[in-house]
Amino acid sequence: DQQVKQNSPSLSVQEGRISILNCDYTNSMFDYFLWYKKYPAEGPTFLISISSIKDKNEDGRFTVFLNKSAKHLSLHIVPSQPGDSAVYFCAASGFAYGGATNKLIFGTGTLLAVQP
């Protein structure tokens, strides 16, 4: 049973427009959420995170929104650039869930293609 879901396997946007990547979770014990970017044959690169005490976190072109009541988070990339083309993974963790392990539960990823 998947606890972190990314229901869109792929997304295509034009350069300069906004990319919105979505993620849903089912376990209310998660209290920390992260987004990673991954190129083929490379390891994931950390992008941005958000704690459950916030509903928004910004870092440059990247903004993550958290809606706890809906158990939903999204990553906004504005403006999108061709170099943003990669697979984006949503991940969740929580002390109540994993204890001191801080283990991450990942979604299946969304392949973003930014067209020039």
Asked if 34 is part of the footprint of another protein (rule: CB under 8 A), the reply reads: yes
**CB distance 75 to 60 below 8 Å:** no
How do beta strands 19-25 and 45-51 pair? Answer: unpaired
**CB distance 90 to 4 below 8 Å:** yes
Asked if 89 is part of the footprint of another protein (rule: CB under 8 A), the reply reads: yes
Residue in 21, 44, 80, 97 binding another protein, rule: CB under 8 A: 44
Q: Minimal distance in Å, beta carbon 47 to another protein?
A: 10
- Please give the backbone phi and psi of residue 24, each rounded to the nearest 5 degrees, phi first: -120, 150
Residue in 64, 104, 112, 114 binding another protein, rule: CB under 8 A: 104
Asked if 14 is part of the footprint of another protein (rule: CB under 8 A), the reply reads: no
Q: Minimal distance in Å, beta carbon 98 to another protein?
A: 9
Distance CA 8, CA 69 (A): 21
Size of the site for another protein (CB under 8 A): 25
**CB distance 23 to 72 below 8 Å:** yes
- What residues make contact with another protein under the rule CB under 8 A? 2, 4, 9, 32, 34, 36, 41-46, 49, 89, 91, 93, 100-104, 106-109
